[in-house]
A and B are shown apart, each in its own frame.
Chain A
């Protein structure tokens, strides 16, 4: 470290994947001053991805999936202030105002405020019984509780994105009758190609989930103990539990009010720094530059939150690094593990490689001869190799890639 950070204070707003990993990395990189994390969530920081997956179907509390054990916060002197909201940032005097009426001064500030579920303008949504989102541990606990106490176990999931589909799969596994209502003409429309939408529709249908597309929910009515979900084509669905997963809104308010640059999120450079040199931002809430894809991105993923946090920690400690990662994601539904790497946006063609095992294939997205992304379904090898090819920029022979008689090996698919 070039200068001492002893006596300095680094304040982090948001104690989830981004904020917490940042804090421990900051200590690891040699920050000697205070590190204080704030979050409005009262729960000890936990892994979010399992909430819609293993957590729903298990009996364990969130204790089972803490991001870091409690004692690590003591060992590394990372101070955690939970259940406290940050109300404003004063950049001139470098302090934040808190919901308990106090203020906290900072030398460096990290905004890791993430996102919140979008609440669609559906008539009667605020009166619906047992209607939940899926973002926090509390949401997952509520969904589980509502499911366990419901008599008919009739679930309607509004929104056929990853969160909605994972929740649908988990509740179906527990024995619920589940209907997924998607407004678009196919599920996962915003994030994958039609071939993937088709696969996941079949997967859910084969497991007894009803997947209905082109269903625009306009109102939720009450009939005795149950809700009736009404679509604009007059179809109706009874539900004693409703899960809404129709996307998120980025928590940019604090940044906006204090005059930081906002563009589809909090705009940061490749070191995760905002237009204020003392303020960084990481994770879902950022609009950041990706050197590999040569464009600005806003990503909703654990990988992005963790990796951007690592870059911010290094930068703050004086190391010269840039955030240059190929984005990756995963989703678990029923017995299927989907792993995705890269960004398929702007693809011109897709090569599908079906493996011999059932429900095992990979989709390779190309823009002309450049590999943009790979979706691997129950075939982690394609995920790993795809990551390597995207990073290296090696040109591939698409015909060989699609040819199952050619063994799946690193050198099998390189273009001559």
Chain B
């Protein structure tokens, strides 16, 4: 069980609990605004873009090559960008805070 907090573009904060699947799926399930996951989680659409807090970067780890390629030229990319469909929910993520990208 991991508690993950999403901060959406309207400044609202929502904490949800998950045990399995991807962070994108968890967000869709909990109707987090701005996370759509249109491609179903195959790293093809970038509609699940989030920013990780720098001090929590070690929790999520860095993106792999494909994910990095999808993010590099995204207009809202940051040093701590991830596509949440590529982050697996596990206990290790407990306390994670993610800001949904615009």
List the interface of chain A (C-beta within 8 A of B).
24, 28, 47, 49-50, 54, 65, 68-69, 71-72, 75-76, 302-303, 306, 328, 330, 332, 337, 339, 379-381, 383-385, 388, 410
Contact = CB atoms under 8 A, between A and B. Distances in A.
Contacts of A302: 38-40
A70 to B, nearest CB: 10
- Chain B interface residue count: which class? 20 to 34
Contact of A385 (B39, B43, B73): B73
Interface stretch (B4-12, B50-58, B64-72): B64-72
A380 B73 CA distance: 10
Given A337-B66, A380-B66, A65 B40 contact: yes
Contacts of B69: 379-381, 384
16 contacts: A47-B40, A49-B39, A50-B42, A54-B42, A68-B29, A72-B31, A75-B31, A302-B39, A303-B38, A306-B38, A330-B42, A330-B44, A380-B66, A380-B69, A384-B72, A410-B73
Given A330-B44, A381-B69, 4 more contacts: A72-B31, A381-B72, A381-B73, A385-B73
A388 B75 contact: yes
Nearest to B71: A384
Contacts of B16: none
B31 A28 contact: yes
Nearest to B70: A380
Contacts of A28: 31, 33
B62 interface: no
A381 B70 CA distance: 6
A332 B45 CA distance: 14
B36 interface: yes
Contact of A50 (B31, B40, B74, B75): B40
Contacts of B48: none
B1 interface: no
A328 B44 CA distance: 10
A69 B44 CA distance: 21
A68 B38 contact: no
Nearest to A75: B31
Nearest to A378: B66
Contacts of A71: 29
Contact of A384 (B28, B36, B70): B70
Contacts of A379: 69
Contacts of B43: 380
A211 to B, nearest CB: 25
Which 4 residue pairs spanning A and B have beta carbons closest together? A380-B69, A47-B40, A330-B44, A384-B73
Contacts of A410: 73
A302 B74 CA distance: 21
Contacts of B29: 68-69, 71-72
A290 to B, nearest CB: 18
Contacts of B39: 49, 302, 330
B23 interface: no
Contacts of B75: 388
Contacts of B40: 47, 49-50, 65, 302
B72 to A, nearest CB: 6
Contacts of B46: 384
